[in-house]
Amino acid sequence: MSEEMFDRISDVNFRGTFFTVQRALPLFQNGGAIVLLGSVSSVGGYQDIGVYSAVKAAIHALTRNYVVELSDRGIRVNTLSPGPTATELLEEYPGGPENLPPVPLGRLARPEEIAAAALFLGSAEGSYVTGVELFVDGGLAQI
Tell me which of 46, 52, 66, 128 is the catalytic residue.
52
Number of Cβ within a 10 Å radius of residue 51: 16
Number of Cβ within a 10 Å radius of residue 36: 21
Q: Which residues of 93-102 are buried (b: 16+ CB within 10 A; e: fewer)?
A: beeeeeebee
Burial label, 128 (beta-carbon count in 10 A; 0-12, 13-18, 19+): exposed
Q: Respond yes or no: is residue 66 known to be catalytic.
A: no
Contact 17, 59 (CB under 8 A): yes
Find the largest Cα–Cα distance for the chain. 46
- Distance separating alpha carbons of residues 61 and 56, to the nearest angstrom: 9
Task: List, by residue number, the catalytic residues.
Answer: 52
